[in-house]
Amino acid sequence: MRARLLALAPLLAGLGLALALASLEPEPAALEARGLARLLLPDEPEAGPLAAAAERLRGEPVALRITRGGQDVSGAPELRRAFESALNLENARREAAAEPGLRIEAAAARTLELGLAREGAQLRLDARLSGPAGSEPLPAAQPYRLPDRTSLLPPLVAILVALALRRTISALFAGIWIGASLLRLDAGSGALLAAPLGLVDVAWVYLRGALVSTFRIEIIGFVTALMALVGVVSRGGGLRGLVDRVARFARTVRSTLLSTFAMGCMIFFDDYSNCLIVGNTMRPLCDRLRISREKLAFVVDSTAAPIAGVSLLSTWVAFEVSTFSAQLPAAGITESPYMVFLQTLPFRFYCWFALAFVVLNAWLGRDFGPMRAAEARARSTGELVRAGGTPLVSTGGSELEPAPGLPQRARNALLPLACVVAVTLQEIFRGGGGYGLLADDPARLGSLAGWLDVLAAGSGAAPLFVAASAGLWLALALLGSNGLRFGLVLGVGACALAAGPLASALDPVLPEGMADYLAVGLLLAAAGVAGARLLPERRWPTRREHLAGGELWRAALASTR
C-alpha cells in the first residue's frame, strides 16, 4: 500500500499543480503578444502581412507603428518582442529563398501600421502600408482566438483517465478527443455535434496526419529495422558473442552498470540509436547478473539523452541550435548560435547531474524508493520484471536464443552495429551538404561551426532509417545462407536499375519522400525471397555456419512485435 501511494504521489502532485495553474488569470499583454506573432505569421507565412509587405517594398526600409484601439503601443516591450521574433523568422525564410527581407528603420518614408482590435476572445489585425502617396491595405490573417483555461482541459482529462484506468493509450486518446472537440466548438459546431465530430477528426485529421508524416514513418522504420537487426544477430549468436566479450570486463553488478554507461557515452551522436543499441546489447548481461529491468532502463535513459545534450556533435544539438538561432536577434544576441550553445554547456544541469548520478549510483550501489524495491526483488527472487509488469520489448525478442550449432562470434554483432553508426554519420554528412562543403570550402570543415552547420542541415529521422536498414542488410548477409546472400545482392542490383522508375510510379499515391523507401524495400524483399527460393542451400556446400532465410525472418519479426 505504501509503495502504491509513493507511485501515485508524483501524479497527484502534478494534477494539483495543474489545477492551481488553471485557477490563475492569464496575463493579457502576454496573450496579445502571442496573438500578434501568430497573426503576422499564419500557417502559410507566404500569405501573411509580413510577406506581403516585404514583397511590395523589395528591400526599401519601413517604419513601424503598432496601435491598439487607436492608441500607439509601439513601445510595449511584449508586442515589440513578438514583432521582432516574427520578423526574424520571415526574413530567414526569405533569405533561404534568396529574396530581400523587410528592413525596419525609424526614419523611413513609409510606415507599416499594425492595428490590433480585441473582440471578446478574438484578436484581429489590420495591417497596411502608409506613406506620402496614401495607405495600402495588406492581406490579413484569420482572427486569432486567445487561449483561456479550457486549453488545460485535454491534459487534465488525460491525467485523470491515466489515474483511473492505468492505461496510457486510453488516457492519450481521451485527451486528444477532448482537444478535437474543443476545436470543433471554436469552429462553430454545436455542443451536441462537437464530440462526435471531434471523434471523426481524431481518426481522419490527427491520426491520419501522423500516419502520412514522413518523419514518423522514418522513425517507425528506424525502430523496426534496428529491432529486427537485434533479433537477427541474437539468433545468429552474434549478440551472445558480444555479451561474452563484454563480460570479460563486466563481472560484477557495478562493472556491468559502468560498462553500460560507457557504451552509452560512446554512442553520443543520437539518443534514439543510443537507447536501442545499448539497451538491447546489455540486456542479456544484466539479466544474467539479476539486474532489474527498471535499473537497466534508468541507466540507459539517463545516459542517452544527457550525453546527446552535451555532445558537440549530435543530432539533438543540431536540432536545438536550429530552433533558437532565429530568435537570438529578437533577444539582442548577435553572437553565433553555436557559440551560444557552447556558452550554455556549463548550465545544462540536468545533463551533467544525470550523468554524474548514474556513475555514482552504479559505483556506490545505493538505491532508494521503488528502485530499491525493484533491485531487491531481482536479486532475491530473480524476477527481472515486477509481477504484472509488461515490458515494452516482446518476450520473443528479449528471450531469443542463438541457433544451436552456430559459432557465437562477436563480429557478427559488431559489424552490423558499426555499420549503423558509420552509415548514420555518412548520411548526415551527405544530407547536410558535407561533400559540397568539402569541395568548395574545405577549411570550414576544420571549424566547429562548419561541422554543426552540416549536422543542422543533415540531421533527422531519414539518416537513422537508412542506417538501420543498411545494418539489417549486412546482418542478413553475414548470417544468412548463400541463397539469401545472392538474393540480397540481386536486390541491390534491382534497386540500382528499377528503384527510380518504380518510385516515380508510386510517388502520386504516397506521402512525399516515401516512394523511394517503399520501392527500395519492395525490391530488396522480393529479391531476397527469390534468391532464397531459387538457390537452395544444398547446392552450395559450405560449413554449417549460417541460418536459412525463413529462420532469419522469423527472428526479425519476433523482435519487432
Instruction: With beta carbons less than 8 A apart as the criterion, state whether 528 and 489 touch.
Output: no
Torsion from C-alpha of 49, 52, 56, 57, nearest 10 degrees: 50
For residues 163-184, give the mean pLDDT.
87
Indicate whether 551 pLDDT > 70.
Answer: no
Rounded CA separation 390/307 (Å): 28
Written in H, E and C, the secondary structure of 468-505 is HHHHHHHHHHHHECHHHHHHHHHHHHHHHHHHHHHHHH
Indicate whether 473 pLDDT > 70.
Answer: yes
Written in H, E and C, the secondary structure of 159-218 is HHHHHHHCCHHHHHHHHHHHHHHHHHHHCCCCHHHHHHHHHHHHHHHHHHHHHCCHHHHH
The pLDDT of residue 546 is 64
Q: Tell me the pLDDT tens digit for each residue of 367-396.
A: 888 888 888 888 888 787 777 666 666 555
Rounded to whole angstroms, the maximal C-alpha distance in the chain is 91
Instruction: With beta carbons less than 8 A apart as the criterion, state whether 471 and 225 touch.
Output: yes
Band (pLDDT 50/70/90 cuts) for residue 538 is very low
Band (pLDDT 50/70/90 cuts) for residue 103 is confident
Rounded CA separation 76/313 (Å): 40
Phi, psi of 110 (to 5 degrees): -110, 160
Q: Tell me the pLDDT tens digit for each residue of 89-98.
A: 788 778 767 7
The pLDDT of residue 540 is 44
Instruction: With beta carbons less than 8 A apart as the criterion, state whether 251 and 237 touch.
Output: no
The pLDDT of residue 132 is 82
Q: Tell me the pLDDT tens digit for each residue of 7-37.
A: 566 666 766 766 666 666 667 777 788 888 8
Lowest mean pLDDT among 34-38, 47-51, 188-192, 456-460: 456-460
Instruction: With beta carbons less than 8 A apart as the criterion, state whether 243 and 280 touch.
Output: no
Lowest mean pLDDT among 52-66, 145-159, 463-477, 511-525: 511-525
Indicate whether 469 pLDDT > 60.
Answer: yes
For residues 252-276, give the mean pLDDT.
81
What does R_g of the chain's alpha carbons equal in angstroms? 28
For the chain, give me the number of helices (H) and strands (E)?
Answer: 25, 6
The pLDDT of residue 355 is 93
The pLDDT of residue 333 is 64
For residues 53-61, give the mean pLDDT.
85
Indicate whether 397 pLDDT > 70.
Answer: no
Closest listed residue to residue 90, CA positions, set 51, 129, 36, 144: 51
Element housing 127 (H / E): strand 122-131
For residues 42-62, give the mean pLDDT.
82
- Of all residues in the chain, the percent with pLDDT exceeding 90 is 4
pLDDT, mean over the chain? 78
Closest listed residue to residue 226, CA positions, set 276, 260, 274: 276
Cβ of 56: how many Cβ atoms within 10 Å? 13
For residues 56-79, give the mean pLDDT.
85
Q: Tell me the pLDDT tens digit for each residue of 340-365.
A: 777 888 899 999 999 999 999 989 88
CA 500 from chain center: how many Å? 28
Rounded CA separation 225/360 (Å): 34
Q: Taking CA 42 as the corner, what is the angle to CA 95 and CA 144, rounded to the nearest 5 degrees?
A: 150
The pLDDT of residue 57 is 84
The pLDDT of residue 395 is 54
Q: Are strands 63-68 and 111-119 parallel, antiparallel or unpaired?
A: parallel
Helix (H/G/I), strand (E/B), else coil: 281? helix
C-alpha cell at 307: 550525453
Lowest mean pLDDT among 270-274, 537-541, 553-557: 537-541
Q: Which residue has the higher pLDDT, 487 or 514?
A: 487
Rounded CA separation 357/558 (Å): 35
Q: Which residue has the higher pLDDT, 181 or 231?
A: 181
Q: Which residue has the higher pLDDT, 247 or 415?
A: 415
Instruction: With beta carbons less than 8 A apart as the criterion, state whether 237 and 412 touch.
Output: yes
Indicate whether 322 pLDDT > 70.
Answer: no
- Of all residues in the chain, the percent with pLDDT exceeding 70 is 79
Rounded CA separation 37/86 (Å): 6
Helix residue ranges per DSSP H, 202-336:
208-211, 214-235, 238-247, 253-266, 271-288, 293-310, 315-324
The pLDDT of residue 356 is 93
Q: Please tell me the pTM assigned to this model.
A: 0.66
Q: Which residue has the higher pLDDT, 47 or 169?
A: 169
Band (pLDDT 50/70/90 cuts) for residue 541 is very low
Rounded CA separation 235/63 (Å): 69
Q: Which residue has the higher pLDDT, 491 or 174?
A: 174
Q: How far apart are the first and last CA of the chain?
A: 34
For residues 433-437, give the mean pLDDT.
81
Band (pLDDT 50/70/90 cuts) for residue 513 is low
What does DSSP assign to residue 431? H
Rounded CA separation 289/176 (Å): 42
Q: What are the DSSP calls for 396-414, one per residue? A: HHHTPPPPTT----THHHH
